[in-house]
Amino acid sequence: MYRITKEFHFSASHQLFGLPPEHQCARLHGHNYIVVVELTAAELNAHGFVRDYLDLGDLKRYIDDTLDHRHLNDVLGDDCVTAERMAKHLFDWCRARWPEVTAVKVSETPKTWAEYRP
């Protein structure tokens, strides 16, 4: 199996409702997010790729135009925009375009990662 990944970055705010008031994530706050999309294939295409990295420019445009420097609760219409839910949202967005997508990982901090892999 061949596997490729590509990393993307954006900054955005969010707030998690329903947590105790003393929980730091209950307050409005922001992160410098890292997103890693993973694609796999048993065979390479005619050009020797799982998928041309240039094709993934659509994800960069989506991130830049829709998520970067936005309030994610407003963008996604959700009061619980966690890294886990961001990973699923981005997985669904990518998988609708590229069938080779097998996972999406999202980091909110240098030490934390959430991954969606069906």
CA 78, 86, 68, 29 torsion-angle sign: positive
- What pTM value is reported for the model? 0.95
Q: What is the CATH number of the domain that holds 106?
A: 3.30.479.10
54 within some domain: yes
101 within some domain: yes
Look at residue 80 in the predicted model and tell me its pLDDT.
87
112 within some domain: yes
Range of the domain at 56: 2-13+31-69+81-116
% of the chain residues with pLDDT over 70:
100
Look at residue 74 in the predicted model and tell me its pLDDT.
96
Look at residue 65 in the predicted model and tell me its pLDDT.
98
Q: In this predicted model, what pLDDT tens digit does every residue of 98-109 receive, in sequence order?
A: 999 999 999 999
65 within some domain: yes
> Taking CA 104 as the corner, what is the angle to CA 71 and CA 108, rounded to the nearest 5 degrees?
45
Rg of the chain (C-alpha set): 15
pLDDT surpassing 90 at residue 78: no
Measured between alpha carbons, how far is 23 from 65 in angstroms, rounded to an integer? 30
24 within some domain: no
18 within some domain: no
Measured between alpha carbons, how far is 40 from 52 in angstroms, rounded to an integer? 12
Count of domains forming the chain: 1
23 within some domain: no
Measured between alpha carbons, how far is 32 from 18 in angstroms, rounded to an integer? 23
Look at residue 95 in the predicted model and tell me its pLDDT.
98
Residues noted as catalytic: 25, 69, 108
**Annotated binding-site ranges:** 14, 29, 31
**Annotated binding-site ranges for Zn(2+):** 14, 29, 31
Amino acid of residue 68: D
Look at residue 79 in the predicted model and tell me its pLDDT.
87
Q: In this predicted model, what pLDDT tens digit does every residue of 35-47 receive, in sequence order?
A: 999 999 999 999 9
108 within some domain: yes
